Amino acid sequence: MNPRSLLASMWLALAASANPALTTIQDVLYKADGTRFNGTLTISWSSFQAADNSAIVTQTTTVKVLNGNLRVQLVPVTTANPPGAYLVTYNSDGRIQFRETWSVPASAVPLHVRDVRVASGNSTIGADTSGVVTEASVTGLLSDLAARPVKGPGFSVGRVMVMESAGLLESASGSGGDCVHVDGSSGPCGSNAPGFMDGETPGGVVDGSNSIFTLSAPPNPASSLAVYRNGLLQKPGLDYNATGQTVQFVAGAAPQPGDTLLASYRLNGEAETPIYASPQVVCSGAGAATNSATLGSVGSCVIPSGLLTPGDRLEARFDLEHQGSAAGFSFEVHWGGTVALHRDASTSDALATGRVDAALLTSGARLSAESWGSVLSLAGSVAIAPDAYAGGITVDFWANAAGGDTVALRNFSVVRVP
């Protein structure tokens, strides 16, 4: 034999003898719903000596399973020294699904998973397969657990938790009806929410001689009191004086028969600072003209959702101009679906004007209105509007004309006042 051929044969024989025998595990894996398993199998083992004395070192291998097809070759462990098994972890959908143990025998033909799977409780060679991971074996776990808040001696279930100065979780003390403060202390709950009285009609006879009227509660703060006479804001000290619940008009200013008195004020001293400090124009503009005999909109103000809250007050003011002498005209102001003001003017009324005040209640609003014209006498009215406003509301100005005359809305504004 050629010396080179002999040397090659010897090298191949030595190489072949250096590789341990392998057993093939080949199978099709399914999920319980009948679909094929897709994922990976992580197979781990500890060092052992194979039957042919090959030294197998501790290692892990990952096998991909596509459309359920599994094929992997492993060194038999039933004849290893010492005998053992492989720990197989099934991973799918980004997480560990389950673990099982394989005991792989020597076999010249491929084996199925069922041929190598053993009952739980067997262990891999030199590895813990009980499924229990000790806290100490996880890097950094003990220090992280020590850094978390822990229960203190005052902890109890069913209570609000507060953190005491040492970082321990304690239950808030106090009775079940107490309120817990941000510093962890507790005490009786107080009614600190702002309270409002809007559009109240003071008690008292409006007869031209009576000048003393009574409120249902003392304003708090006293400076929050606003008194309206026929929609006009009265000036304290000049038009009236207030003490506690009593409002007394100055000499010569007693309300006359037909006058409308309204009062608005706060009830809780903590609400002394208003949400906004100056009047806010919600919308304004010049309206349209109409010569229709049917009442219709000549201008509107759409107030958006979330702008208004209970306790707010709005003033809507407008000016109309009548052109022509064929007939009279009418005009209205609508607060949502409620007619806040309606007046019928004569042919001689070349100009008309008015205002509507809306005092927002928890539900709906108290409306007060007054209007007059070139000839049209001053008149006022009050009403309750049930319209909800939290989701927005529209203030609409209507007018009509007859006989070819024209009525125009020359100016309007809606203002939120503090």
Q: What percent of the chain has pLDDT over 90?
A: 50
Mean pLDDT of 92-121: 88
Residue 115: what are its φ and ψ, rounded to 5°?
-80, -20
**Closest of 199, 207, 206, 203 to residue 231, by C-alpha:** 199
Cα 15 to Cα 10, 57, 260, distances in angstroms: 9, 19, 114
Q: What percent of the chain has pLDDT over 70?
A: 88
Residue of higher predicted confidence among 106 and 84: 106
Reported as a pLDDT band with limits 50, 70 and 90, residue 275 is very low
Other Cβ atoms closer than 10 A to 40: 14
Average pLDDT, the chain: 85
User: What is the pLDDT at residue 273?
Assistant: 42
Residues contacting residue 352 through CB under 8 Å, at least 6 positions apart: 319, 320, 322, 331, 343, 345, 371, 372, 373, 374, 376
Residue of higher predicted confidence among 258 and 165: 258
Reported as a pLDDT band with limits 50, 70 and 90, residue 190 is low
Q: Per-domain residue ranges for the chain?
A: 16-118, 196-271, 280-417
Mean pLDDT of 407-412: 94
Indicate if the pLDDT at residue 38 is higher than 60: yes
The answer to pTM > 0.75 is no
User: What is the pLDDT at residue 125?
Assistant: 41
The model's pLDDT over 14-37, given as tens digits with 9 standing for 90+, comes to 555 568 899 999 999 999 899 999
Domain topology for 280-417: Jelly Rolls (2.60.120)
User: What is the pLDDT at residue 223?
Assistant: 87
User: What is the pLDDT at residue 300?
Assistant: 94
**62-76, 97-111, 154-168, 182-196: segment of lowest average pLDDT:** 182-196
The model's pLDDT over 354-367, given as tens digits with 9 standing for 90+, comes to 999 999 998 999 99
Please give the class, per CATH, of domain 16-118: mainly beta
d(CA 301, CA 409): 13
Reported as a pLDDT band with limits 50, 70 and 90, residue 7 is low
Indicate if the pLDDT at residue 311 is higher than 50: yes
Residues contacting residue 369 through CB under 8 Å, at least 6 positions apart: 231, 333, 340, 341, 354, 355, 356, 357, 380, 381, 382, 383
